[in-house]
Chain A
Amino acid sequence: MIGVKEYRTITEISGPLLFLEKTEPVGYGELVYITLSDGTKKRGQVLDTSKDFVVVQVFEGTSGIDTGAAVRFTGETIKLPVSSDLLGRILSGSGDPLDGGPRIIPEDRWEITGSAINPWARDTPREFIQTGISTIDGMNTLVRGQKLPIFSGSGLPHNEIALQIARQAKVLGTEEEFAVVFAAMGITHEEAQTFMKDFERTGALERAVVFLNLADDPAIERLITPRMALTAAEYLAYENDMHVLVILTDMTNYCEALRQIGAAREEVPGRRGYPGYMYTDLATIYERAGRIKGRRGSITQIPILTMPGDDITHPIPDLTGYITEGQIVISRELHRKGIYPPINVLPSLSRLMDNGIGPGQTREDHKQLSDQMYAAYAEGVDLRGLVAIVGKEALSARDQKFLRFADLFEDRFVRQGREEDRSIEETLELGWELLAELPETELTRMDRETIEKYHPKKRRKNGDQRS
């Protein structure tokens, strides 16, 4: 940073952006310090650079900046000081300690934008993570190295579900615990408190790194918060061999900040005003989940987003769904029925499920069981629409059974306690118990052997005492 000059050549300030003239050649993406006339320091990043002008986005907001402010270009891109001492710390959205603890003594400084993992170096995620939640373990299985977002709506208990996953997540047969990296973007103090209290209560804070950008913190800072968090996660995973669970909440606020910058730059907007590059931008966050061949650690991501107007086709959930490996969808309808966790399995999906289930991981019947439950529940839910028109009596005996299955499924399989940690065996047995309510001829997703071996009625006949 020797010979770095300060410039007082701001010509225009527009929203979060500064326009400067007559600078030395400045690198694209460089970190910038802005010193205000009252001595306050702010940080920014170069968005556009040429011989004539430079555009800088300011993370802490442009309030208080005038054309006389001093701008210093650091000659390097934004970096996070990384260290294994990050564990147990609470940091701001741009990486400064908030917990009154000492500054972090860096073992290294890593660029927060990260680099793409060479697809050839990736290892397929395949270790089953037991979350203890039946709708996830049984029907939308999470595996180590996956990115599985929670699609929620405002006022729904997505935070509780994320916490329950963070608390209960384990890989069967290992005692290793997950380290948790938690990045909050624009959530309220109250929500942040819920998370912090739970981390403290369960002792999870010791193996957690927390980045907090709260609702009243600068919006533009949200653009770097998830990148800071993922850089910390990468350090823990790839340098310290840890298995890291990254929770990002709320990605909707991140996208709003992205839109704000796009608007300030007068870019041509894409759908609903979000920038055309939002897909690529989100991909540079989500794609940082994964496993690398020959390295022990892993990064599993659970981003949370609230769908504006519960609309799954809104650009934020839509683009997210195209990048992530599935989604867990929280349903307002189930929530209203008083069912916790209100996970609607029909639109939910885990694309990596088939890697993580089956013999050696869970059980050989898992795939067929979950397919069958999906099909039966979908049919039951469809029939509810019919009942609303013609009444229950008009249904055939077969249809009545499916209708009953759907009710039982929600009441017993979906519903569980906030502290209830079901083992995968329990989840699968529960599934069989519910399917046994249907006639055997309707189990078309299963082959003969599986039915013979696992169907509760057959097992009773065969004198199996397992359940």
Chain B
Amino acid sequence: MAQVTLTHITKLFPGAATPAVDGISLVIPKGSFTTLLGPSGCGKSSTLRIVAGLSKPDNGMILIDGRNITHLSAAKRNIGMVFQSLALFPHMTVAENVAFGLKMRGLAEAERRPKVSRALELVELGHLAERYPHQLSGGQQQRVALARALVVEPSILILDEPFSALDRKLRESMQIELYRITRSLGITAMFVTHDQEEALTLSDRIVVMNQGRIEQDGTPREIYGAPKTRFVAEFMGLSNFLPAQSRGSALVFEGVTAEKTMDAGVPQECFVALRPEGLSLSVAKPDGPALNGRLAEAIYQGATSSYTVELPTGRRITARTPDCGLQPGQDVWVSWSPDALHAFAA
């Protein structure tokens, strides 16, 4: 396991107006699980391919444990990679797929065999060693891809949206399995996804990317609980953006004043966001700050219901709370828990 350092990585694809990766600098500590999170086209996969050696950066350096590997071919970097399409070798059995990296490293059959069976045990596929990839289910193929990447004891495990083809249930169980395996082996891992829930579940650290740059970098708790920019806030599921003024330690929006300790960076003219899950509705005016409006829409969704409230200014905010039996057209009050309120520069 190793520490990976990226400095000022830049990649401009021929014909593109803006760089796909625009001066990314990042340190991935030894043994940490770091996720690059962002919408498609934000440069996260390009960054990953540069670390893997499948694509050359136009500028910048990649170090593994202080050693410059920028100009080393993919074959010599000692990485283990799981591709979005899995890229299993269709003409090889499960065991041959897993053994491939060891074979390329010149290990003899006798040395390979115990390593391969240990890797297959780790992903609970020992009984399918002689099958071919097309005979396996999607989840089993996923595990083969993971075993194949782990067996070479890579300096860094690289995963490019590996679960995007799986259905929700299988994806969740694979996430938990990946969490368990990477933590028990203490692996340095770099993961790419556009799914914020997946990023929150798996990561020690999340790097949110947008337009080739790092938007915010922090623990899942920091990214979710204290998004620094509107982009991160929206990507992490925040909504209900309202224009506001900041006055010392208070925010004024929609004619309501709310106490809030804020970052120094928030200007006087700013935006607030209210997390839909942190809102509650009531017919009677609650204590403390609250917004008054007319319930425009109530949609039952099982565990929670989605309520859209139209404010006197015509703006709408959405609350997600357990079903509370309110009907559209009713006059309601919307209040919030302190940590559901966030303020940003516009």
Please indicate whether A and B come from the same complex rather than being unrelated chains.
no
- A residues in contact (CB < 8 Å) with B: none
- B residues in contact (CB < 8 Å) with A: none
